[in-house]
Each structure stands twice: as structure tokens, then as C-alpha cells.
Structure 1
Amino acid sequence: MKQLMDFLRLVIKSRLDHELGKTETLEKPQMELHFDPEAFLGKTIKSLDIRNRDLLLLALAVAPHIDPGLLGKSIQTYYPEGADFPEFGGVKTKHHRGIVPTGETLLYLLAGTDATTRKKHLTVFQESILFKKNLIYLSQTQEEEPFFAGPLCLEQEFADKLLLEAVRPPKPSTGFPAELIETELEWADLVLSDKTLAQIKSLENWLTYNEALMESWKLRKKVKPGYRVMFFGPPGTGKTLTAGLLGKYTGKAVYRIDLSLMVSKYIGETEKNLSRLFEKATGKNWILFFDEADALFGKRTNVRDAHDKYANQEVAYLLQRIESHPGLVILASNFKSNLDTAFTRRFQSIIDFEAPGASERMLLWEKNLPATIPLEESLEIRDLAKKYPLTGSNIVNIVQQVGLKTLASGDEVIREEILLQCIRNEIQKEGKMH
């Protein structure tokens, strides 16, 4: 990073020396730059072939993070008493006390004040690989302001990798209404029918091999980007766990979308929230998991009033964004009948998570009851599996309650009476839910 900042100082000095008459011609910075090929900065510069004005753009965007006073000190050298210097651009922000460079700053360092040269270098905002890949972007300006007057911003994940060599997960907010799903469980802990597991394997294959397929089979222009799948099934049948395991075993972050933060009673706001979500996710290789999707994306209604009209527009907008998103999007719903058929036609895969049968329930009991605590002799788990139609999450809840009661009573075995009471409590709780 020091070399990058030294390069920026040299460029600023060269430009100001020329513009203020200290040199007749603009001296190109002469500097040998050698970046660590093992660090993220060095790898990025090499892989994207960053040089010349792209290197200057990168240095400017990084400067506030590494050397907050660099721009201010550079100007002060030439204007020790201070001066109005609009050509240089830059803004002061609420919390950052240094100068935050803008597109105007980049343009000035590239072209000075010569109108013809400035027009020539305006192409940087379209041609730079850093702008094209959205690694650096211009913050929004007011309509009456030049678009390049906006601050130069590092995309958050790119900034984290440059500065921390790691990525901080985004915080849930109205701009990103989602939470990271992580699990310590394994595929072996997921109890599903063979048919459902085979369908899930196809998703894992897409996540692992899609990029290689697009290149080697030349399908990129023929196949729509991304993959869209629907999970149907009652609560507790493993939909969320499956999404978490897909991310875990393919090295991708999984974000569960909080629909309550996305839906707005104000016309047009839901679409804005959706737009911010997908823009945030673009290029991140994340898995987006819309849980209880029918809450927002249910059957479109007949248009009876303005509210119905705009509700249908929200559904149409969502369809459009999902189809253009390049990553994996999972919509989960408890009831297949709740979702519009317009959605099902647009999805590559529809996976049913059926309530577990007796054999699956037997496996769930065996996997969740502790091997170190014996059962009372009268307890037959096979009978429980046949008699009580419980889901995986029901069984986990029951085992937790049984464990607490067993520890509290001081028993060294799991009592039939306690286990049956916890089963009844769970069934009663489910009944109240309905």
C-alpha cells in the first residue's frame, strides 16, 4: 500500500507543478512499482492488468482508507495559506476529516484544466476495468451536478479484501434485509427422501461446476445467468438447513432474506428495496434464500383497486430481477398452492421437502438422541417414530427439552414419561400455531 500512496503523491506533484507553472511540460511519474504477488492487492493488479490511469484511480479510492491526510497535505504544500481549488474536486464528509476524492479529482490529475484533454479522459468512467467490475463506483450526485462530482467509493467486499485480506459480512438493514446462515451440521445430519437428496445434489453440481461448464461448453450466450430453485414443504423439514449446507460445502455465503424489512406500504418502495438487495448481491457469488416466500410472492390477484395493481407490479419486478441475477436464488414456501404459476415456469428446479415418514423419523430420533445417555428399558424409539408425525425441527426441540428435564432431575437415563410429556408439549404447541 505504501508504494501505491507514494505513486499517488508523485502524480499529484507532477500535475500541480505543471498547472502552477513550475514545469513547462507535464512530467510523467518515474517510479518502479513492485507489489507483493501473494497479497490481494498484488494479485488484483496482476489479474486485471491494472496500470496507468486505472492504477491512479485505485490509488485515489484507497487513499482515504490508508492515508486520510494525503490529499489535504499535498494541496497545502502549494497553498500554505489555503485557497479555493474547485478544479481538484474532493469532498468533506460527516465523519471523515480528510478530503475524500471524487471523479473530478481523478479527472484533474489526468487532464488538468485543458478542456480538450478533459473530454478525452472522460472515457475513464466507462472504460476502466475497475468501474466495469463495480470494484470502484461513483456515489450518486444531484441532478444539477456533474455525475463525476460524486465521491470515489470502494465496493465493500473489495475494500475488505484490499485492507483486511478478509470480508466482513454485511449487517442486516433496510438496504440489505438479510442475515448470514451458517451451520455446524453436515450432509449426514440432513434426513430427506432419496428423491429430494438427488435433486439437491444437482444444485451442488451447479454451484461447483457452472463456471467451468459455461466456458468449456460455450454456453454463456445461450443460457440465462444464475439458477432459480423453489423449495416446498412444511416448516421443520430441512429447507433452511439445506440452503446452509449448500453454501458450506461450496464455499459460498448464504443470506436469508427478511421479507418483513422489504415489503413497504408505500408505492414503489418495495421495488426499491428489492433493487438495493440485488445490486448488493451482484458479483458476490452469494446464495440468496427467500424464506416463506409466499408472504410476498403469493398468487397475483385480480386488479380490483390501485393496491392490487401495484402489488402485481412488485411480483413482476421480482420475477425480472430473479431472472437476471447471476447467482443461485432459492425461494422457500410451506405450501405449493400459495405461489403463482408464473414463478414455477421460470425456475429450473422445484424440490418438495415432504414431511418425514416413519423410517425418516426413526433416523432423526437416532441422530438427535445422545449416544452417551441410555434410554429407559420400556422406551421403544421405533414405536415413537411410527406413532408421532413429527418433523426434524420438532424432534430437535423435544430432545432439547428432554435433556433439560433429565439433567434437572438428576436421572442417568432418559425416562419414557419425560420423553412422552415433551412430545405432547411439542404437539400442543404446533396445534396452537394452527
Structure 2
Amino acid sequence: MTEEGIIYKELEWLNQFINYILPDKAKDESEESDGVENSETISPPAVPPQPVPLADYAALRGKGVYVVDLLFELTFSERLVLALTLAQYVAPEIYQKLIVEKNMKQSLVIGGVNFHHSYQGFIPTIETAIYLLSHCDEGGHVKFSIKLKMLKLFDANSTLINKNIIQLESGEGTLPYTASALKVNPFVLNKILWNESYIPALSSSFPAEKISTHQDWDDMVVNRKTEKQLEEILSWVNQRNAMRSVPAVARKVLPGYRALFYGPSGTGKTLASTLIGKLTGMEVYRVDLSKLVSKYIGETEKNLKQVFDIAEQHEWILFFDEGDAIFGKRSETSSSNDRYANQEVSYLLQRVERFPGTVIVATNFKTNLDKAFLRRFQTLVHFPSPSEETRKMLWERVFNDEIPKDGEFDFKFFAKNFELTGANIVNVLQQAMVLGFEENEGLIGKPQLTRALTRELNKLDKLDTKTERKLIYEYEECC
């Protein structure tokens, strides 16, 4: 059976279930009033229709069919809630009887909301799910005890909510909790419908974006101490599941791994993070702090929760660039703003500590971070400004044999005389290549390289008369 067939069966069961709850009484009554016997009316079943037995899907379990593995995690009631929520995306016609019943009787217990005036469809709520399930358990009579039992399906510890399968979308703040609309998590929806991963767009509600690199580990030039520390992080990521399988270790060691990368801009912190993801087969998401931090009370924590919950579910590596903006030192609480800012930092501390995956925080200045954060990092990796020897390696790697050059260059001269980072040298390559295409048939010659380097030094305020003379005249003489 295909994913499409499985989804169809689940929705067919939902449709039968709604017909069981709301049989076509209107048709029966109209035909009886005309004195005509209704021989075609299908009587509802005496007992609630049952879903397809999980045994029928057993052959596909554990073979990469997401929807099958998901169904095996769910109870009868949870399967019905999932089917009810899923119908709005692929089979909204299933809601027709619920819409008619609600409009005819103005029934509050059926629930259903419409947050957007331009959308005329039906969006199920917690009330809708409870209405169906309560009828199932009590033959059509909603009992208070059953309603309380059904509400447990939507608390923070339930499978559907805790595993972020179903999301609750609240309307106006004055509406009761049970009026929350049911939505399928976009990541889960993509996996159910197409068995594909969903890559969310960067937004205020999801302040993170996927980052990757075409470079390899050999392209990264750092000193041996830094490289050794990065290899330790790789080892943890590769062995994380093995460590969790040892109960004695799992009880004593906090879940996850937290690393701080600190050092000047352009020294390889972001590249190292993306390469760790590339080598371990894990996706790296960079948290955009400009979209994460909100001026509204509670919104920053809400945005953080969204990122951490989804990252935990998909085993992403979270990368916080310029982390001191959010991981900074807590201040004295002299005002309400200070108090809320400190609450955000405290919440972040808790989420980072509980996160079972890898968190990498990058900052230019380690001293700007709160000491409480520093204690929680397993590794502090220093990315220093490159030494002369490292700079020479960077020049050689960036301007390697694959780069179209018009002649040979003395990279030892550049490394000795100009204190540039890897990012600066890449900028020189980009500008020199543009000049090469404009002036030298796509080749980088001495004039192009010299002018590109001059511009980069000028941008960094490192170009004075002495430097320029050294760059132009000494380089021409020696090279």
C-alpha cells in the first residue's frame, strides 16, 4: 500500500465516523412525511466504525514510510484527531455534515472556526475533536468526565502536542482554549503527504534559516588546537546515540552538546559550523537574532520555543551567530524592561540545557557572554586571528590552481605584510576576478590582484602611504 492509499483509508474512516455521529436524518424525515418508504437510506452502524488495523500496515513499518511509523505511535483517539486535522488540507468536503449541523442548530459543541474572513471553509477546533470522540465513547451524550478525558489529548504532555504533530492556533485572546484551531505541523504534513522534508522560510514566526557550504574540511584553515577541538565536536555528534544508550551515563550527563566559537570576524566560525553539519549528515540552521528578539513581552520566548521544538524533532544543529546579542550578561533589574530581558536570557539558558542536540554559539568577544552560559558549554573553541604561517596557507587555498591566474604570486609576501583573515582574502579573490574579466580576459594578473588587495585594505582602514608603497613597489620588485 502506498502513502496515498494509507492517507485515503484514514480519511475514509473519518468520513464514516462523521456519518455515524450525524446520520442523514433530514432525508429520512422528508421522505417519511411524503408517505414514501425509504429503502435506499443506509442506517448508521450500531458501533463506531473502526480504523484500518495497524497490522495491515505492519509490512511497511520501519521502511521509511513516515505516515506508517507515525500511526503506530498513536492511539485510536489520536488517529481520529490527526485524520480530522488532516482533512482540511486534502479533503475539506468531509466537513460538510459538520458545517450543515452547526449552521442549522447553531451548535456550539461542534466548534470550528474561521480566522480569515476571505476563507469560507471549516477549520476544526479542539471542540470539534471532543464532539466526535465524546459521541464515540458515550453513544452521543457528551459527559463532563469524558470531556475532561478528551482534553488530555491536547495538553503539553500528550503525544500529538509534545511531539509537535498537531499545533494549536489561537484566535482572539478572549476565546476559550477549546476554540483553538487544529493544524498539522508543516514538517509533519510534508512527511505525511509526500514523505519529504519541509524547509521553512525565514520569518518572524520561524527565525532560523538553513545554511550549508560547498567547501570541504580541507578547505578550512585553522591552527591545530582549534582543529582538534572541532574534531571532538564531530566525535560527540557521531556518537551521541551510543552515549544515550548507556543508562548510567544518560542519568548523569546533560543531554546535548554545547560549543562556543569565539574570535574575530572572518576567522571561520560559520564555516566550521556548516562543515560539522556536512560531515555528520545533519542540517544546520542559523538563528536570525534580528527576527528572534521581539519588543513584545513573551514573543521572544515563543519564537525560541518554536525553533527549539522543531530542531529537536529533526535533529538539527542550531547555530547562533553573534550570540552575545541574546546570550549577553544579565543586568541589574532596575526597570521592568531589564526584568523581561533577564527572563528571556533565563528561558534561553533552560532550553539550551535541555536541548538533546548540538548548539553552537559564535561571538567575537567571549567576555560579553553571561557566565552562566559559559559554564554550560562543553567546549570553548578559539578562532584567533591567523598567524603569518596560517595566512600563507589561506592565500594558497583561496588562490589555488583552479583559479585562472596570469602568472605566479608570492603568497609568502602577502602573508608577511598584510594581516587579513580568510574572509578578507576571499573578498580579494572576488574583486580580483571581476577586474580580471573586465581587463584581462578572465585571468587574475598582478595589476588586478594588487588593486583588489588595495581596496580590501582601504575598506579595513589598514591602508596608509607606507602600506600602499610596500604593496605596489616592493611587491613589483620582489615578484
Give the TM interval when normalised to the shorter protein: 0.7 to 0.9
Task: List per-residue Cα deviations over 1:122-144 (Å, max 9, x = no partner).
Answer: 44335753233221233336676
Q: Distance in 2 between matches of 1:130 and 1:381?
A: 59
The separation in 1 between residues aligned to 2:97 and 2:23, in whole angstroms, is 15
Extract unaligned runs of 5+ from structure 2. Answer: 1-6, 29-41, 136-140, 464-479
Query: Which residue in 1 is equivalent to 2:80?
Result: 56
Give the direction of change, closer, same or farther, for the CA distance of 1:201–1:68 in structure 2 (3 Å limit).
same
2:90 maps to which residue?
66
Match of 1:110 among 115, 122, 133: 133
8 A Cα contact 2:284 2:316, kept in partner: yes
Superposed counterparts of 1:367-378, under 5 Å:
367-372=397-402, 373-376=404-407
2:251 to 218, 221, 246: 221
TM-score normalized with structure 1 length: 0.87
Q: 1:185 aligns with which of 209, 212, 215?
A: 215
State how far apart, in whole Å, the 2-side matches of 1:274 and 1:320 are.
11
Q: Are positions 1:393 and 2:399 aligned together?
A: no
Q: What's 2:13 paired with?
A: 7
Asked whether the equivalents of residues 61 and 101 of structure 1 are also in contact (C-alpha less than 8 Å), the reply is: yes
In 2 relative to 1, CA 170–88 (structure 1 residues): closer, same or farther, beyond 3 Å? same
Task: Find the partner of 2:414 among 374, 377, 384.
Answer: 384
Give, in whole Å, the separation in 1 of the partners of 2:189 and 2:421: 43
**Post-superposition offset of 1:349:** 1.0
Distance, in Å, in 1 between the alignment partners of 2:294 and 2:52 is 54
Instruction: Give runs of aligned pairs for residues 239-254 of structure 1, distance below 5 A.
Output: 239-254=269-284
Does the CA-based 8 Å contact 2:164-2:310 persist in structure 1? no
Question: Is this contact kept in 2: 1:252–1:285, CA < 8 A?
Answer: yes
Which whole-Å CA distance do the structure 1 matches of 2:381 and 2:191 have between them?
Answer: 36
Once the two structures are TM-superposed, the CA of residue 432 in structure 1 deviates from its matched residue by 7.8
Structure 2 counterpart of 1:297: 327
Taking structure 1 as reference, are residues 172 and 32 closer, same or farther at Cα in structure 2, changes over 3 Å only?
closer
Residues 143-152 or 281-290, more deviating: 143-152
The percent of aligned pairs where both chains have the same amino acid is 37
Asked if 2 retains the 8 angstrom alpha-carbon contact of 1:69 and 1:99, the reply is: no
Cα RMSD for the two superposed structures: 3.1
Q: Is the 8 A contact 1:160 1:167 kept in 2?
A: yes
In the alignment, structure 1 segments of 5+ residues that lack a partner are none
CA distance in structure 2 between the aligned counterparts of 1:255 and 1:413, rounded to whole angstroms? 36
2 CA distance for matches of 1:142 and 1:221? 43
> 2:114 is matched with which residue: 92, 114, 117?
92
Larger mean Cα displacement after TM superposition, 297-306 or 3-12 = 297-306
Contact 2:211-2:284 at 8 Å conserved across structures: yes
2:317 to 281, 287, 292: 287
Q: Secondary structure at the match of 2:318?
A: strand
Q: Which residue of 1 aligns with 2:153?
A: 124
Q: Name the SS for the 2:19 alignment partner.
A: helix
Separation in structure 2 between the aligned mates of residue 144 and residue 82 of structure 1, nearest angstrom: 26
- For residues 146 and 220 of structure 1, do their structure 2 counterparts lie closer, same or farther at Cα, with a shift above 3 Å needed? farther
- 1:233 partner letter: G
Change (3 A) 1:277 1:30: closer
Residue in 1 that maps onto 2:349: 319
Structure 1 residue 44: deviation in Å? 2.0
Per the TM alignment, residue 264 of structure 1 is displaced from its structure 2 partner at its CA by: 4.2
Distance 1:201 1:150 in 2: 46
The 1:69–1:316 alpha-carbon spacing in structure 2 relative to 1, beyond 3 Å, is same
Residue 308 (structure 2) aligns with: 278
Aligned residues: 428
Distance 1:124 1:304 in 2: 42
The reply to whether residue 419 of structure 1 matches residue 443 of structure 2 is: no
* Partner deviation per Cα, 1:190-241 (whole Å, 9 max, x = no partner): 1111211111122222222212211135433322222211100111111111
Give the CA deviation at 1:417. 3.2
Task: For 2:247 and 2:189, locate their aligned partners in 1 and report how far apart those are by CA, in whole Å.
Answer: 34
TM-score normalised over the length of structure 2: 0.79
Task: Report what 1:40 is aligned to.
Answer: 66
Structure-2 change in CA distance of 1:406 and 1:276 (3 Å): same
State the 1:327 CA deviation. Answer: 2.4
- Which AA in structure 1 matches 2:376? R
SS in 2 for 1:89: coil
